[in-house]
Chain A
Amino acid sequence: MSSPYGTGAYVHIPFCERRCDYCDFATWTDRSHLMAAYVDACVSHAQALRREHPGAIDHVFFGGGTPSLLPPDDLGRIVDALQPTPDAEITVEVNPDSFSDRHARVYAASGVNRISMGVQSMDDEVLVALGRTHNRDNVAQAVRAARGAGIEHVNVDLIYGSPVESFRSWIASVSAALSDDIDHLSCYALTVEPGTPLGASVAAGTARAPDDDDQAAKYEAIDELCESAGLSWYEISNWARPGGECRHNQNTWAGGNYLAVGAAAHGFMDGARFWNVRTPERYIEAVSTTGDPVAVRVPQSLQDRYVETLMLGLRTRTGVDLAGWPDAVIQTAADLVDIGLLVAGGRSAPPNFDQSGRPSQTRDADSCHGADGQRFSLTRRGRLLASHVMSELASHLPDGR
């Protein structure tokens, strides 16, 4: 499906120095000996994909894992293989621990113009409780390194709601992050996933689960602090200065195409979701033998498309356009407007080209500008209850395909 954000490529780097207690991503801490072969596989897979899809690549996202663990030149080889357009957004997720001035310089030279830093908290005690290795000072240093090398966009990822984190500590974390020279902030509610050390501790009763009310209060605090620092929310867990939004992710939420490079990477092309084999060994092997590392490919049904449009679109400030949807869904949306969870209207896509350049004065009223007839987006209270809103709307979709 085409989106206003073009076509992207996601590259997965499944290596970490150690695993964080809450993490359920595909990543390994004992396979650094595979890195060289892995990069070669990514390069040759990327080249093959480009032969198959010769159109423009408008954004590339290196996620992980910890992409900054790769030798920086190797990362550049993968960028080259993907041949993105000259003004493409190229993001690399980095760990403040493994991000040096040298990384920053080589990245910038490779065309990387956006750094996303997994910081999680600025409170050293909370960092220990989350199983993280860096500290507050690393972060400021890493931000300075990126800026110094001329990298235009810097994001910081925070996680909130650990039971050892006080409300005050959280406010301090957000404020500290905002005081660094960044143009984007992602804040994620700590989620207990089964199969993680945290999940096991909660199940065993040795760790407390995060508290919903605490997380709700912290979310409201983020929104206040970001807005007053000039970063507006544009997706449930993301705030940015105007022009600082991540186009790669906006493309995902808009249902746009993106290629998938690397083990366990997911992609979406022309109405089908697919993902590559999970382990780096199998990925390397598949690329070198059959040349096709895709493990599963699922064509999107009409029903899937409706549900995904709701689920992804409603996360964004753009909202969803329900024109042409079943009357029951539109009626339900109107009911949700009445109870203050949805607002009619939404910021017209694509928001990147917003001309005002100024943060809004009022949050929800702002969503209404550029309203078109059947567009709905979440209010702040609605954002906190997004799953409820989505399932209410989805429950009025006709069953079947």
Chain B
Amino acid sequence: MQFDISQSRCFSIIAHVDHGKSTLADRMLEVCNAVDPRDMRSQYLDTMDIERERGITIKAQNARLTYKNHTLQLIDTPGHVDFSYEVSRSLAACEGVVLLVDASQGIEAQTLANCYLALDNDLAIVVALNKIDLPAAEPERVASEVEKVLGVPAEECLYVSGKTGEGVTELLDAVIDRIPAPTGDPDQPLQALIFDSVFDTYRGVISSLRVMNGVLDAAQPIRFLNTGTVHPVDEIGVRLPVNTPVKQLTPGEVGYLIAGIKNLDEARVGETVSTAAHPGTALEGYREPKPMVFCGLYPVDGDEFDELRESLDKLALNDASFTYAPETSHALGFGFRCGFLGLLHMEIARERLEREYNLSLVATAPNVQYKAFTTDGNMTEVHNPSELPEASRLDHIEEPYSVISIISPSEYIGTIMDLAQTRRGELQRMDYLSPERVEIVYDIPMAEIVMDFFDVLKSRSKGYASLDYEIGDYRTSKLVRVDVLLNGQPVDAFSTIVHTDKAYDYGRKMAAKLRELIPRQMFDVPIQAAVGSRIIARETVKAKRKDVLAKCYGGDVSRKRKLLEKQKEGKKRMKHIGRVEVPQEAFVSALRLDD
């Protein structure tokens, strides 16, 4: 079918994890006969194993569908708060969104945040209440909640079931009726917005883009307006959803671009593509990705350092927002300090490294980026606690804050407020979305949410509370570095920057944990936690008294010799902290997050 801009619609589906976005997308593909039934599999557009397992979308996919003489261009969005910039670029490529809400649950914090983003961009919003086939569905209640928080009249909400397909054609009709057609001038210089890029081993970078003005022609070299680089085009095409090459993409069209690019940094999300011959002006909103959360990643087996480096290289090819630089730890050996957009981003990267690249990794406790001001007025950015200038030169430390929004059934308000309070949160406001559901907003230090905040929130609210956060400003805080010493020697991997009030707690916990993990030595080993030269916690690993085999007679000799040789080999692999011999596993276990 010939592309006609007035008969086209570009839209995204905004939904919370588990609210059924992928299943709904599957039904849309079926209604539009986009995928041969033999090739249809569940959650067709989610391509990574992790995405399918966790029910979240990390890399956006898109699809062009034909429905009642219209071209519907579905632009998928990443499904997590860490990728809000990517979400904003996806939305910039749309004229409207379908807000999908689970009718048995209600609107969630992150969905709301993305909806506000859509409203800010003047996008049309079509609300669909999903899972109406469930006995627990309460579409009327959820519709009134939507009306209250977004101002979309309750009667305009559509009722659908991604599972049974009920209401899907009505939803597609509404997309055509309520979302405006794209506009754009084919005679202007080319402006195409990249809203996603992935790296393919065989073809290089494959970017998803939307043409705003001008014409993208496969025969003409292109220029990236922010980085300034020029490339000949290998292939352009549309996703039906199978990649299908075309000669041209015109205003309002969504498609893909392959231009022999080897590095994702050159084709970042938010980049504007133009022609090399007649470059236009860059579209607004381009931003360099900035990592917010850092941690050290080390191979459990020191021999896997090279494999780790190669894997990080490959991972970065597919993730332009991920940074890494080599670092050395006395306790953990050679590894990398890695930067991530947020906690989930970090978790996913780790999981992919372990799963797809078959590595066994140790991660240090995650930390945020601090700004340390010395008495001479200089500022140092601190990515690793060990970089903190010594106390005598330190004037003050600033830490990043964030604004978090939590939506939860009102019965959990008490426990949630208690959690936020202990994490140094300052209550900003609290709004009832309905008598049963409330939105609570806090200013809170980033450092307090990067560790386990989300997990604790989930368990305190029996899984019902949802969280969204936005990066805020830097503020001065009373922060100190807690060091952990083994027999008087600091163990770098355990140093951490915490608020003064929590130093004692951390020190005590870590010392107690290590006391269980450090094997007994020939002498007593003190374990201390210290702030500067002040000892705040102490434990002792008592000297070993017995290490001897009960018997060794004729029949035991060969077996016992092998045991001794094994022990001798094990000795070589011990880490030495001063005179103390510690197996690497002890550090690994100590770094594992727990309650």
Residues of A within 8 A of B (CB): 10, 63, 188-191, 212-213, 215-216, 219, 236-237, 249, 252-253, 258, 260, 264-268, 273, 275, 298, 304, 307-308, 311-312, 315, 339, 341, 383-388, 390-391, 394-395
Evaluate contact between B547 and A308: CB separation under 8 angstroms: no
Evaluate contact between A304 and B564: CB separation under 8 angstroms: no
Give B549's nearest chain A residue, CB to CB.
A387
Bound CA span A213–B546, Å: 7
Bound CA span A308–B546, Å: 21
Instruction: Pick from B547, B560, B565, B572: contact of A384, CB below 8 A.
Output: B547
24 CB contacts below 8 A, A to B, read A212-B546, A215-B546, A216-B546, A219-B546, A237-B551, A252-B553, A266-B554, A266-B558, A267-B554, A268-B557, A275-B555, A307-B561, A384-B546, A384-B547, A385-B522, A385-B547, A386-B547, A387-B548, A387-B567, A388-B522, A390-B564, A395-B568, A395-B571, A395-B572
A386 in contact with B554 given A307-B565, A311-B564, A394-B564 (CB within 8 Å): no
Give the tally of cross-chain contacts (CB within 8 A).
93
Bound CA span A266–B557, Å: 9
A391 in contact with B567 given A385-B544, A385-B547 (CB within 8 Å): yes
Complex interface bits, B538-579 against A, C-beta within 8 A gives 1, otherwise 0: 000000111111111111011011001101100110000000
Instruction: Pick from A189, A191, A394: contact of B565, CB below 8 A.
Output: A394
Cβ of B571: which chain A residues have Cβ within 8 Å of it?
391, 395
Instruction: Pick from B547, B553, B560: contact of A249, CB below 8 A.
Output: B553
Evaluate contact between B548 and A266: CB separation under 8 angstroms: no
Instruction: Pick from A253, A266, A307, A388: contact of B547, CB below 8 A.
Output: A388
Cβ of A339: which chain B residues have Cβ within 8 Å of it?
522
Bound CA span A252–B555, Å: 10
Cβ of A266: which chain B residues have Cβ within 8 Å of it?
554-555, 557-558
Bound CA span A375–B567, Å: 24
Cβ of A219: which chain B residues have Cβ within 8 Å of it?
546
Interface residues of B in 185-208 (CB under 8 A from A): none
Instruction: Pick from B546, B549, B554, B564: contact of A307, CB below 8 A.
Output: B564
A190 to chain B, nearest CB (A): 8
Give A189's nearest chain B residue, CB to CB.
B550
Cβ of B553: which chain A residues have Cβ within 8 Å of it?
63, 249, 252
Instruction: Pick from A298, A311, A341, A383: contact of B552, CB below 8 A.
Output: A311
A239 to chain B, nearest CB (A): 14
Bound CA span A212–B544, Å: 8
Cβ of A258: which chain B residues have Cβ within 8 Å of it?
554
Give B567's nearest chain A residue, CB to CB.
A391
Evaluate contact between A237 and B547: CB separation under 8 angstroms: no
Cβ of A212: which chain B residues have Cβ within 8 Å of it?
544-547
A276 to chain B, nearest CB (A): 10
The 9 closest A-B pairs by CB, nearest first: A216-B545, A266-B555, A386-B548, A188-B550, A216-B546, A212-B546, A189-B550, A391-B567, A387-B547
A116 to chain B, nearest CB (A): 11
Evaluate contact between B546 and A312: CB separation under 8 angstroms: no
Bound CA span A400–B550, Å: 28
Evaluate contact between A268 and B554: CB separation under 8 angstroms: yes
Cβ of A268: which chain B residues have Cβ within 8 Å of it?
554, 557
Give A235's nearest chain B residue, CB to CB.
B552
Which of B522, B546, B553, B564 has most A Cβ within 10 Å? B546
Bound CA span A168–B81, Å: 64
Instruction: Pick from A190, A236, A249, A260: contact of B548, CB below 8 A.
Output: A236
Evaluate contact between A312 and B522: CB separation under 8 angstroms: no
Cβ of A311: which chain B residues have Cβ within 8 Å of it?
552, 557, 560-561, 564
Bound CA span A76–B581, Å: 54
Cβ of A307: which chain B residues have Cβ within 8 Å of it?
561, 564-565
Evaluate contact between A191 and B568: CB separation under 8 angstroms: no
Bound CA span A260–B551, Å: 19
Cβ of B522: which chain A residues have Cβ within 8 Å of it?
339, 341, 385, 388
B553 to chain A, nearest CB (A): 6
**10 new A-B contacts at CB < 8 Å, known A385-B547, A386-B547, A387-B564:** A215-B546, A252-B557, A273-B558, A298-B558, A315-B552, A341-B522, A385-B522, A385-B545, A388-B522, A388-B544
Bound CA span A391–B563, Å: 10
A275 to chain B, nearest CB (A): 7
B559 to chain A, nearest CB (A): 10
A305 to chain B, nearest CB (A): 10
B580 to chain A, nearest CB (A): 14
Bound CA span A188–B568, Å: 24
Evaluate contact between B554 and A10: CB separation under 8 angstroms: yes
Interface residues of B in 315-361 (CB under 8 A from A): none
Cβ of B545: which chain A residues have Cβ within 8 Å of it?
212-213, 216, 384-385
Evaluate contact between B551 and A188: CB separation under 8 angstroms: yes
Give A249's nearest chain B residue, CB to CB.
B553
A5 to chain B, nearest CB (A): 13
Cβ of A253: which chain B residues have Cβ within 8 Å of it?
552
Evaluate contact between B561 and A308: CB separation under 8 angstroms: yes
Bound CA span A162–B568, Å: 29
Bound CA span A390–B571, Å: 12
Evaluate contact between A191 and B552: CB separation under 8 angstroms: no
Cβ of B552: which chain A residues have Cβ within 8 Å of it?
253, 311-312, 315
Cβ of A386: which chain B residues have Cβ within 8 Å of it?
547-549
B573 to chain A, nearest CB (A): 12
Bound CA span A106–B552, Å: 30
Instruction: Pick from B544, B550, B568: contact of A391, CB below 8 A.
Output: B568
Cβ of A190: which chain B residues have Cβ within 8 Å of it?
550
Cβ of B567: which chain A residues have Cβ within 8 Å of it?
387, 391
Bound CA span A236–B551, Å: 8
Bound CA span A383–B553, Å: 16
A312 to chain B, nearest CB (A): 7
Cβ of B560: which chain A residues have Cβ within 8 Å of it?
311
Cβ of B558: which chain A residues have Cβ within 8 Å of it?
266, 273, 298
Give A157's nearest chain B residue, CB to CB.
B551
Give A275's nearest chain B residue, CB to CB.
B555
Evaluate contact between A273 and B564: CB separation under 8 angstroms: no
Cβ of B557: which chain A residues have Cβ within 8 Å of it?
252, 266, 268, 273, 308, 311-312
B320 to chain A, nearest CB (A): 47
Bound CA span A283–B465, Å: 70
Bound CA span A386–B564, Å: 11
Bound CA span A390–B547, Å: 10
Cβ of B561: which chain A residues have Cβ within 8 Å of it?
304, 307-308, 311
Cβ of B546: which chain A residues have Cβ within 8 Å of it?
189, 212-213, 215-216, 219, 384-385
Cβ of B544: which chain A residues have Cβ within 8 Å of it?
212, 385, 388
Bound CA span A8–B572, Å: 38
Bound CA span A216–B561, Å: 23
Cβ of B550: which chain A residues have Cβ within 8 Å of it?
188-191, 237
Evaluate contact between B548 and A384: CB separation under 8 angstroms: yes
Evaluate contact between B548 and A385: CB separation under 8 angstroms: yes
Give B521's nearest chain A residue, CB to CB.
A388
Cβ of B572: which chain A residues have Cβ within 8 Å of it?
395
Bound CA span A241–B560, Å: 28
Cβ of B548: which chain A residues have Cβ within 8 Å of it?
189, 236, 383-387
B127 to chain A, nearest CB (A): 54
Cβ of A189: which chain B residues have Cβ within 8 Å of it?
546, 548, 550
